[in-house]
């Protein structure tokens, strides 16, 4: 097991190298120029050229890529072209809101979606099943920002229960922290709940038709015991897989959700950096997201052994 | 033993729970929550030309001179100045008691270093750089500037309100290379910037500078006494207009600098919210041409468009149909400012005639070359102006290519001097800060110095001559005559077509009063009602 973990962690190195090369090349080829953005609407071409030279953007591709990789190998993600702050510092400032949003969304989604999927499978063909599936279709179909605006309108503007926007750090108290996260987490969690609920239902239906479930019933096991002890545990591997894959959905959704609810997280940092062509920040954030995603996949692989002892590494 | 009743216990608990709210309410009374127009990314108002950075600079830094709401320049940090009879030497004396945020006094040599850094970046600063024989500080309260030629507008330049402002910094900071950002935000303005709390893209925090000594005069835009009535101002960055609007309605913000025109009816329905034009100089809409390539390298083609331009159409698209939010007709100088005039303006203010424009274009021998009109889909005002321009160009008879792109791509493509087949461009719409284009000195769209000029690169020697004449105009009447001539020439050469003056409104809760008018959002004078 440990050897497997070490092998997988080491395998992230070439993955990250490919991501680094891909991100750098893509930004190099993409239209836009941070020097022109810095110089502003009123600048002359000479102004832009001077700024480009001062930022080192006039250097050849390979020189810039080499310098960037060298810095990364020394633990330096670079400095933002615009804010003049280290990228690692900017990421550190933004990581807590995003992490909070994702964790709350994850907990909310899993705790709602899995029971929903289980119940839908148990009550297959009934109005409960159809209601769950209708919710799942709705969750997939309605964009996050629309859900966000609707929630803000109802629960903040009309009912005045929750704030419209912003983020309160956890250290300032659980309740204020949570107040700022409920609406974004519900908005972001919609699609995630739909995804997990559908997969849970489909997997549970398959498991519930197995012989050992019939045997359990014949032995007189209770419905709850059948559903949660016998069926759900055996359905867990695909569910855990989809939860892991869904992390990518969450990362993508966080970009929109953070903009709608003015949460100062990594999603907004990424959007701002892309719009301004702040290359070091974009590269740093994308590398971080890639690394997180690789780690999540590793974690999911390890969880398989927990749910299915037949799996060995 | 005294018994405590259940009611008393509950009352006590309620009081304890309410206590932080009262404290919070008191703290909020001295806090101003502001939603700025965009993200504050840089803190250097000399390095960056972004309006948001200029606005930050006006809080943190003081200027030697300041513009009043009547667009006249007056001493601000300066106590006054003396000009020698030949007009070549300015001796500026600083007010006593000026201090930087680190407690150090503001000295002449701080101002000299600041002026020198600014003179490498700003358009008027560069003129000073070229004209100055000497910029020195004979003592701690004096700055002496010796010029090669007289320049009556020097005080205006040093106090110009538009980017780049001549922000006075400590000498150690001002010695930073002009093309490198400063890292130390120490200024001597009425607010101290809390760099330790700064999170770009999220929040910028300013605290009242207790040692700031405002002039003993009434508040007057950038001139006069900058009296601060809040202990703390927080700029909360909200990129999404709907969220910003909701935050203002929900009392999570006090003041929103740039409400989306589409949201104005909604905000107007809220009795707690007031909407007003804070900056009467607004932004001048501009249709800019590329002088290097056909078809707009031909002045007859540029002129052909004039009879078809309906400034009202452009303004309605940009800011809506409320006449208070735009001004037409607009000439090449900002309407309502001293140099605005109607010389030659009948080509834009007379009856509109699309057929005349079509005929004029045919007469030029236009051969259906592709016209690439750049837009910026992420900036609604520019995009709306561009949509109207694209439609008009097509109706006049141009073969229009109208690619959509974001601002970052747009502004890069603009630097491309090649023809449209090689990724260049033909025309674009933008807006210029009204204060910038209120005088020829800082009016970049009027510059005609070829490859060094603003994007479009026109060569118009006559306009350059007139600009030089304006710099040495002996009085206001002479300056106005020159401005009239500039407008006549500009409407013949057509380096750009003015599209009207956009006056974007701002929105604030009625608990905020005495908002200072004149230009950008300012945080002195304003107070909680």
Q: What is the pLDDT of residues A134-147, one digit of tens each?
A: 998 998 889 999 99
Query: Are the C-beta atoms of residues B52 and B40 closer than 8 Å to each other?
Result: yes
- The chain A residue lying nearest B430, using CA atoms, is A41
With CB atoms and an 8 Å threshold, state whether B200 touches A31.
Answer: no
User: In angstroms, what separates the C-alpha of B373 from chain A's closest C-alpha?
Assistant: 16
Closest alpha carbon within chain B to A162: B250
Q: Do B201 and A268 touch (CB under 8 A)?
A: yes
| ipTM metric | 0.81
> Cα-flanking dihedrals φ and ψ of residue B105, to 5°?
-70, 150
Min Cα distance A111 → chain B (Å) is 29
Which residue of chain B is at minimal alpha-carbon distance from A261?
A: B243
Say whether pLDDT at A229 is over 90.
Answer: no
pTM of the model: 0.86
- State the nearest Cα–Cα gap between A18 and chain B, in angstroms: 26
Yes or no, beta carbons of B246 and A165 under 8 Å apart: yes
* pLDDT tens profile A95-106: 999 999 999 999
Q: Indicate yes or no: CB of A40 within 8 angstroms of CB of B430.
A: no
What pLDDT shows up at residue B13? 42
Q: Residue A50 and residue B179: Cβ atoms within 8 Å?
A: yes
Q: Do residue B415 and residue A54 have CB atoms under 8 angstroms apart?
A: no
> Which positions in chain B touch A279 (Cβ < 8 Å)?
none
3-state class (DSSP) for residue B300: helix
The C-alpha atoms of residue B443 and residue B436 are separated, in whole angstroms, by 6
Show residues of chain A in contact with B406, CB under 8 Å. 32, 275
Provide, as residue numbers in chain A, all residues whose Cβ is less than 8 Å from the Cβ of B270: none
Min CA distance, A171 vs chain B (Å)? Answer: 16
CA distance B243 to chain A (A): 6
| Distance between CA atoms of residues B272 and B529, nearest Å | 12
Angle (CA) B491-B496-B499 rounded to 5° is 90
What ranges do the domains of chain A cover? 32-76, 91-307
What is the pLDDT at residue B130? 94
Q: Which residue of B has its CA nearest to A36?
A: B412
Contact B249 A157 (CB under 8 A): yes
Distance from CA of B354 to the nearest CA of A (A): 31
Cα distance from B491 to chain A (closest Cα, Å)?
Answer: 21
A36, B411: Cβ pair inside 8 Å?
A: yes
The tokens describing A272, both together, are 């701002």
Domain B51-236+511-528 falls in which CATH fold?
Answer: D-Maltodextrin-Binding Protein; domain 2 (3.40.190)
State the alpha helices, DSSP H only, in chain A.
Answer: 2-29, 34-39, 45-55, 61-73, 87-122, 127-141, 144-151, 174-208, 211-218, 223-224, 232-260, 266-276, 279-307
Task: Please report, for residues A242, B343, B445, the alpha-carbon distance to residue B494 in angstroms, rounded to integers and kept in the order given.
Answer: 61, 14, 10
Instruction: Give the tokens for residue B61.
Output: 């830094």
pLDDT digit string, tens, across residues A75-94: 899 999 888 889 999 999 99
Ordered DSSP codes for B308-351: G--HHHHHHHHH-S-GGGEE-S--SS-TTSTT---TTTHHHHS-
DSSP code, position B449: B
- A-B Cβ pairs (cutoff 8 Å, strict): 140
Residues of chain B found within 8 Å of residue A272, distances taken between Cβ atoms? 39, 41, 200-201, 239
The Cα of B247 is separated from the nearest Cα of chain A by a number of Å equal to 6
Q: Please state, rounded to an integer, the average pLDDT across all residues of chain A.
A: 89
B283-502 folds as: Dipeptide-binding Protein; domain 3 (3.10.105)
Q: Are the Cβ atoms of A40 and B42 closer than 8 angstroms?
A: no
Q: Are B498 and B348 in contact (CB under 8 A)?
A: yes
List, in sequence order, every residue forming a beta bridge with B429; answer none if it has no partner.
B287
Nearest to B243 among A38, A160, A260 (CB): A260
Residues of chain B contacting residue A261, judged by C-beta atoms under 8 Å apart: 243
- Rounded to 5 degrees, what are φ and ψ at A33? -150, 115
Q: CA–CA separation, B402 vs B377, rounded Å?
A: 11
Smallest CA–CA distance, residue A82 to chain B, in Å, is: 6
The average pLDDT across A34-38 equals 82
Torsion region of B84: left, alpha or beta (phi above 0 gives left; psi -120 to 50 gives alpha): beta
pLDDT in tens, B90-115: 999 999 999 999 999 999 999 999 99
Q: From the centroid of its chain, how far is CA B145? A: 27
Mutation target vs B (from A164, A255, A284; most B CBs, 10 A cutoff): A164
**Which chain B residues contact residue A260 at CB under 8 A?**
240, 242-243
Q: Which DSSP string corresponds to B368-419? A: --EEEEE--TTSHHHHHHHHHHHHHHHHHT-EEE-----HHHHHHHTT--S-
Is B243 close to A165, i.e. CB distance below 8 A? yes
Q: From residue B57, give the alpha-carbon distance in Å to each of B47, B206, B516, B523.
A: 11, 11, 17, 12
Contact B203 A264 (CB under 8 A): yes
| Contact call for residues A132 and A117 (beta carbons, < 8 A) | yes
Q: Which residue among B408, B413, B414 sits closest to A277, beta carbon to beta carbon?
A: B408
Residue A281: half-sphere exposure toward Cβ, Cα within 13 Å: 30
The answer to whether the CB atoms of B246 and A157 lie below 8 A apart is yes
Provide, as residue numbers in chain B, all residues whose Cβ is less than 8 Å from the Cβ of A157: 246, 249-250
Interface test with A, best of B163, B200, B416 (most A CBs within 10 A): B200
Mean pLDDT of A30-51: 78
For chain B, which ranges sit under pLDDT 50? 1-2, 6, 9-23
Contacts of B386 in chain A (CB under 8 A): none
b (16+ CB within 10 A) / e for A166-201: bbbeeeeeeeebeebbbbbbbbbbbbbbbbbbbbbb
Interchain CB distance below 8 Å, A259 and B430: no
CB contact under 8 A, A166 and B436: no
HEC letters along A212-252: HHHHHHHCCCCHHHHHHHHHHHHHHHHHHHHHHHHHHHHHH
The CATH architecture one would assign to domain A91-307 is Orthogonal Bundle (1.10)
* CA separation for the pair B396, B513 (Å, rounded): 48
Nearest CA in chain B to A257: B240
Query: Domain limits of chain B?
Result: 51-236+511-528, 283-502
Residues of A in contact with B238 (CB under 8 A): 165, 262
- What local confidence, expressed as pLDDT, does residue B275 receive? 96
- Among B49, B181, B405, whose Cβ lies nearest the Cβ of A40? B49
Q: Which has the closest alpha carbon to A23: A87, A92, A74?
A: A87
User: How many angstroms away from the CA of B232 is the closest CA of chain A?
Assistant: 18
Q: Is residue B295 reached through a cis peptide bond, with omega within 30 degrees of 0 on the bond before it?
A: yes
Q: Is A72 exposed, middle or buried (0-12, 13-18, 19+ CB in 10 A)?
A: middle
Q: How far apart are CA B16 and CA A270, in angstroms?
A: 42
């Amino acid at each position: 097991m440990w050897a497997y973990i070490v092998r997988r962690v080491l395998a992230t190195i070439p993955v990250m190298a490919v991501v680094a090369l891909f991100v750098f090349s893509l930004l190099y080829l993409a239209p836009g120029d941070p020097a022109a953005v810095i110089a502003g609407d009123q600048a002359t071409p000479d102004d832009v050229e001077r700024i480009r030279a001062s930022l080192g953007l006039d250097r050849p591709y390979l020189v810039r890529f080499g310098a960037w990789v060298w810095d990364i190998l020394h633990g330096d993600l670079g400095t933002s072209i615009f804010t003049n702050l280290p990228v690692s510092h900017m990421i550190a400032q933004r990581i807590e809101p995003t992490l909070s949003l994702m964790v709350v969304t994850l907990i909310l989604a899993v705790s709602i979606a899995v029971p929903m999927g289980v119940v839908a499978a148990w009550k297959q063909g009934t109005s409960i099943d159809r209601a769950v599936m209708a919710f799942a279709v709705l969750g997939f179909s309605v964009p996050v920002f629309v859900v966000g605006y609707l929630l803000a309108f109802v629960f903040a503007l009309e009912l005045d229960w929750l704030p419209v926007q912003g983020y309160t750090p956890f250290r300032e108290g659980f309740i204020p922290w949570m107040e700022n996260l409920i609406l974004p987490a519900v908005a972001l969690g919609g699609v995630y709940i739909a995804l997990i609920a559908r997969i849970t239902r489909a997997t549970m239906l398959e498991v519930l038709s197995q012989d050992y479930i019939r045997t359990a019933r014949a032995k007189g096991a209770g419905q709850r015991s059948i559903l949660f002890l016998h069926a759900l545990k055996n359905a867990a591997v695909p569910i855990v897989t989809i939860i892991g894959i869904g992390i990518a959905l969450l990362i993508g959704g966080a970009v929109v959700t953070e903009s709608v609810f003015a949460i100062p997280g990594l999603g907004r940092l990424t959007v701002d950096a892309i719009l301004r062509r702040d290359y070091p920040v974009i590269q740093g954030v994308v590398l971080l997201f890639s690394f997180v995603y690789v780690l999540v996949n590793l974690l999911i692989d390890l969880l398989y052994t927990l749910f299915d002892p037949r799996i060995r590494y | 033993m005294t018994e405590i009743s259940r009611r008393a216990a509950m009352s006590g608990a309620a009081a304890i729970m309410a206590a932080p709210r009262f404290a919070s309410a008191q703290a909020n009374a001295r806090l101003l929550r502001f939603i700025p127009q965009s993200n504050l990314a840089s803190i250097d108002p000399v390095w960056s030309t972004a309006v948001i950075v200029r606005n930050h600079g006006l809080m943190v830094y003081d200027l030697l001179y300041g513009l009043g709401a009547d667009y006249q320049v007056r001493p601000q940090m300066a106590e006054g100045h003396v000009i020698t009879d030949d007009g070549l030497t300015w001796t500026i004396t600083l007010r006593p008691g000026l201090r930087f945020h680190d407690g150090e006094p503001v000295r002449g040599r701080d101002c000299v270093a600041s002026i020198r850094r600014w003179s490498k970046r700003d358009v008027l600063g560069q003129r000073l750089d070229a004209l100055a024989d000497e910029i020195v500080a004979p003592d701690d309260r004096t700055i002496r500037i010796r010029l090669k030629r007289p320049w009556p507008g020097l005080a205006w330049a040093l106090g110009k309100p538009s980017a780049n402002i001549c922000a006075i910094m400590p000498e150690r900071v001002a010695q930073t290379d002009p093309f490198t950002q400063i890292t130390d935000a120490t200024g001597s303005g009425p607010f101290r910037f809390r760099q330790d709390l700064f999170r770009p893209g999220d929040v910028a925090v300013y605290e009242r500078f207790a040692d700031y000594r405002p002039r003993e005069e009434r508040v007057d835009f950038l001139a006069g006494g900058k009296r601060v009535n809040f202990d703390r101002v927080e700029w909360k960055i909200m990129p999404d207009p709907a969220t910003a609007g909701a935050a203002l309605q929900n009392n999570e913000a006090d003041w929103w600098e740039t409400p989306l025109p589409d949201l104005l009816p909604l905000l107007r329905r809220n009795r707690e919210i007031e909407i007003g034009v804070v900056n009467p100089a607004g932004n001048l809409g501009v249709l800019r041409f590329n002088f290097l390539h056909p078809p707009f390298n031909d002045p007859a083609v540029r002129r052909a468009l004039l009879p078809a331009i309906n400034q009202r159409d452009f303004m309605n698209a940009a800011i809506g149909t409320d006449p208070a939010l735009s001004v037409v007709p607009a000439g090449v100088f900002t309407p309502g400012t001293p140099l605005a005039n109607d010389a030659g303006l009948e080509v834009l203010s007379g009856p509109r005639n699309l057929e005349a424009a079509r005929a004029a274009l045919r007469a030029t021998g236009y051969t259906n070359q592709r016209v690439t009109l750049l837009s910026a889909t992420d900036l609604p005002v520019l995009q709306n102006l561009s949509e109207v321009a694209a439609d008009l160009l097509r109706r006049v008879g141009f073969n229009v290519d109208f690619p959509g792109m974001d601002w970052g791509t747009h502004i890069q493509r603009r630097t491309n001097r090649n023809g449209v087949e090689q990724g260049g461009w033909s025309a674009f719409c933008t807006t210029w800060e009204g204060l910038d284009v209120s005088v020829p000195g800082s009016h970049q769209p009027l510059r005609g110095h070829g490859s060094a000029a603003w994007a479009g690169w026109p060569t118009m020697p006559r306009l350059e001559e007139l600009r030089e004449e304006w710099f040495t105009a002996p009085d206001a009447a002479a300056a106005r005559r020159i401005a009239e001539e500039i407008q006549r020439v500009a409407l013949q050469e057509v380096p750009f077509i003015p599209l009207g003056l956009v006056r974007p409104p701002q929105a604030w809760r009625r608990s905020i009063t005495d908002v200072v008018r004149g230009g950008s959002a300012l945080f002195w004078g304003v107070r909680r009602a």
